[in-house]
Amino acid sequence: MTTGTDGRLLTLRQTLQDQAERHTDELARLTTHGTAADGMDPQTVAALVESTRQALADTTQALKRISDGSYGRCERCGVDIPVERLEILPHARFCVPCQQARRG
């Protein structure tokens, strides 16, 4: 991301840090209390644990990209991902055209 977006980058970093904390808390809750506290069946809990783990991994990777300076650049074509996309999906790794191409 360019220096003109430093303020937005700080906001996105904080958003990602908040998301990581929420995902970590949710993962702890699911693995500690799981089915008993929520009345959920084990398959539902397992699916929630997996999706929360993936969300945490995506968020952690985005924070690493901020640290190494590659955040906001498409991993496929290298163009800057529009800030508006990052505000909607802070862990986005690809610009919209490349994301669509990946999906086939």
Determine the 3-state secondary structure of 80 from DSSP: strand
CA distance 55 to 6: 25
Domains, the chain: 3-103 (1.20.120.910)
pLDDT at 5: 64
Q: Mind listing the pLDDT tens digit for each residue in 53-76?
A: 999 999 999 999 999 999 999 999
Q: Is the dihedral of CA 89, 23, 71, 83 positive or negative?
A: positive
Res. 1: pLDDT tops 70? no
Res. 84: pLDDT tops 90? yes
